[in-house]
Amino acid sequence: MNTPPPTPPSIAHLALPFFDDAHRALAQGLLPWAAAQDVDESDDRAACRDWVRRLGDGGWLRYCVPAASGGALERLDSRALVLLRETLAYHSPLADFAFAMQGLGSGAITLAGSPEQQAAYLPAVANGSKIAAFALSEPNAGSDVGAMAMRADATPDGWKLDGTKTWISNGGIADFYCTFAKTDPTGGTRGITAFIVDATSQGLDTSGHIHVMAPHPLATLKFNDCIVPRTAQLGDLHGGFKLAMRTLDIFRASVAAAALGMARRALAEAVAHAQRRQMFGHPLADFQLTQAKLGDMAALVDAAALLTYRAAWMRDESERSGQRPSGDLTAAAAMAKMTATENAQRVIDMALQLHGGMGVQVGTKVESLYRDIRSLRIYEGATEVQQLIIGKSVLKHA
């Protein structure tokens, strides 16, 4: 865990009508727990394992799976995920990463897994005894999922997987990978099927660690005649693309929440620094230019928060009413993800600028936030992809 926040984060946003009393109680319970954790994050892989264990022991991972599989709530609740990720990211982006990947990595099993698959994996995800991963991206198939080259060929006893996945979060430390491969090479997005691949599967190499500017576990996975049983198929044959998109849709608003948590922390760091830093005999906070910057930052944070909470509320309302997810929900989640990540980048940059030279010193909180936020504008759908989703929605409703 990094140094404690300068002041406890405000909980005024919990009074907004997007949340009910259960959400407010959840957030207020997580705050002291998160602030009390002290994790050595110098080794990102060891730290991620530690965070998963702690989150499991604390009962927080139970919000990543439904009640039937040991979860805290009847179904995955987007607002709960948003509040959990926002709070964890405020204290430690790596803690947020560990939590989020348990949900994303197992989300396809929650949505489409057989009762046997759900029983074998989801309770272990909820208690932290198994680490999950989501293996979709490839060297030449990121935003363009249809360009996927990995193959899954039927065998007398199961499936043989061949190909490469890359930029896989939790790669090398996960116990299983929800993996997507072409079962119809000519079918484009309609030829993809999902599989659960245990880390111990013969023919799977997870040793290709990827080092990035904000350290967290990433790897390239190589599948070479990787044999999995027929029971490893997850969901319908050729239904993998829709399953992947449904999984990402659930968690896209929570990516926005992670960015929001980082932005709130940067604002808190900027306020604390402005109040204690003396310049020309006065606190930096006394200068109108400083106040204007803080005002910009606060407005950017609140704008992102409203879009994030709206997207989560819309999805929960759709689930409650039994409606199938619509394009409106996808566009709302895209707006939240785009706005929150882009705004957070701006807020953190302004916070670093207010810190002056201290802002670029390795080991300071704003310096680490500056590195942490950058990837959120890319993963789970880059900003440009979100713009396309929103633009198509606007044209559809014109």
Give the residue numbers marked as catalytic.
Answer: 380
Name the token pair of 164: 């490469």
Residue-wise DSSP of 11-54 = -GGGGSTT--HHHHHHHHHHHHHHHH-----SSHHHHHHHHHHH
- Number of alpha helices (DSSP H) and beta strands (DSSP E) in the chain: 10, 10
The residue type of 300 is L
Length of the chain: 398
Name the token pair of 153: 């060929």
Report the run of H or E that residue 204 belongs to, with start and end.
strand 204-209
Q: Decide if 365 contacts 1 (C-beta within 8 A).
A: no
Name the token pair of 150: 């990995």
Q: Strand, helix or coil at 149?
A: coil
CB neighbours of 107 closer than 8 A, spacing ≥ 6? 76, 134, 178, 247, 250, 251
Report the run of H or E that residue 151 belongs to, with start and end.
strand 151-154
Q: Decide if 56 contacts 127 (C-beta within 8 A).
A: yes
Name the token pair of 29: 């319970």
Q: Decide if 259 contacts 376 (C-beta within 8 A).
A: yes
- Residue 171 φ/ψ, nearest 5 degrees: -60, 125
Write the DSSP symbol of residue 222.
E
